[in-house]
Amino acid sequence: MDKRVGVIGGGQLAWMMAQEAPKLNIELIVQTSAQDDPAVSRAKQIIWADIDDAYATAKLATLCDVITFENEFINLTALQQLAQQGVCFRPSLNALAPLLDKYNQRSFLQQINLPVPKFSLWSSPDDLMANYEFPLVLKARRHGYDGQGTFIVKDLETLAALAQRIPVAELLVEEFIPFERELGIIAARNTWGEIAIYPVTETFQKNQVCHWTITPADVDQQVRQEVTAIARTILEQLEVVGVFGIEFFLTSDNRVLVNEIAPRTHNSGHYTLDGCDTSQFAMQLRAVSGLSLGSTNLKAAGVVMINLLGYEESESDYQVKRDRILEIAHSFVHWYGKTSRPGRKLGHATVLLDTEQLTQAESIISQIESIWYE
């Protein structure tokens, strides 16, 4: 019998989930209000409503066996009332509760003895200066993504100017980490506690937006083991059912610090769609549907993923550029069907690498970026 999975959110993450659903005999039903959302073209059925509309989610629940999430911008209080009425959410709302607010998330990580940057809530400029050095980082506690809601403050003048523009008392304050590189990992847990963890990935961010990833990350065995152990601890502590993306800082002295947890599929795992036996999107569906988890093995020695970001206002589908990228051996392009604006994620490209090409990963990334941004 086919399973029916509801998804709150209709962006590219749900779109890629919908691509995998038929292979698992799963019908995907999406709740979204945007007719141009990528998932609209692939979902079996659409509930036309804002993602924080709990009345619409109640209707969604009557059409499916379980509800999962494409993003974390949800009305937790309203959904908790539905959960009390028997609606099945995976991951559970209890697992999501400590993660949706960045300050609460950091506090949770600290409570379970995982390494994080020093952090606090805003107090006063004097208190900040007594406890932090410039530069320091301020982040929106909710609804920040792709660099939105993140501010790197280099001096008191910048801090004063920021305080004039936004309610800084609502921000998370953290120390600036001069990291050696940023890492990510995708991990999944199903209904009976089976855990699957993908290889450690190196991610490159510019203006807090991911530009590319290389998998596996070129880090030593100790770092790989520590990142993997942290991911396992987080999933077990929260009793997660589903896929989580976890981001890390790696310092010059090989310290691993947890940056953020995304309680869903994640940009750092897009490479899995072409590069692994089981994509993160199929893994999410398997986990929440009560199926066994698939293999996380790479299909090649390595794989790079490059986000195709908007650099102009346009309705072009950039077919010529996409075709040029596909001329590269073992390349794939996933196009989300969005209109372009600067910084918007329009699609991504992946390239599978053999052993000899592993040292050429950044050269291949540069080749694709030169085609895209020429």
pLDDT in tens, 216-228: 999 999 999 999 9
> CA dist 137 to 35, 132, 157, 274, Å?
36, 10, 14, 35
Q: Is the pLDDT of residue 181 over 90?
A: yes
All structural domains of the chain: 3-89 (3.40.50.20), 118-175 (3.30.1490.20), 181-373 (3.30.470.20)
Q: In this model, does residue 280 exceed pLDDT 60?
A: yes
**Left, alpha or beta for 18 (phi > 0: left; psi -120 to 50: alpha)?**
alpha
pLDDT average, residue stretch 87-92: 98
- C-beta of residue 174 within 8 angstroms of C-beta of residue 211: no
Question: Considering the entire predicted model, what is its pTM?
Answer: 0.96
Confidence of residue 2 (pLDDT cuts 50, 70, 90): low
Task: Place 147 in a pLDDT band, splitting at 50, 70 and 90.
Answer: low
Q: What would the mean pLDDT of 39-60 be, rounded to a whole number?
A: 96
Confidence (pLDDT) at 162: 86
pLDDT in tens, 327-373: 999 999 999 999 999 999 999 999 999 999 999 999 999 999 999 99
> Does the pLDDT value for residue 155 go beyond 60?
yes
Is a pLDDT exceeding 50 seen at residue 28?
A: yes
pLDDT tier at 145 (50, 70, 90 boundaries)? low
Please give the pLDDT value at position 207: 84
> Which band of pLDDT confidence, cut at 50, 70 and 90, is reported for residue 124?
confident
Q: What is the mean pLDDT of residues 44-68?
A: 96
What per-residue confidence (pLDDT) applies to 125?
78
Round the average pLDDT of the chain to a whole number and report it.
95
Buried b (16+ CB within 10 A) or exposed e, 281-308: bbbbbbbbbebebbebebebebbbbbbb
Share of the chain above pLDDT 70, in %: 98
Token pair in block for residue 345: 């994620």
**Looking at residue 344, what DSSP letter applies?**
-
- pLDDT value at position 1? 42
Residue 144 identity: G
Q: Do the Cβ atoms of 74 and 142 come closer than 8 Å?
A: no
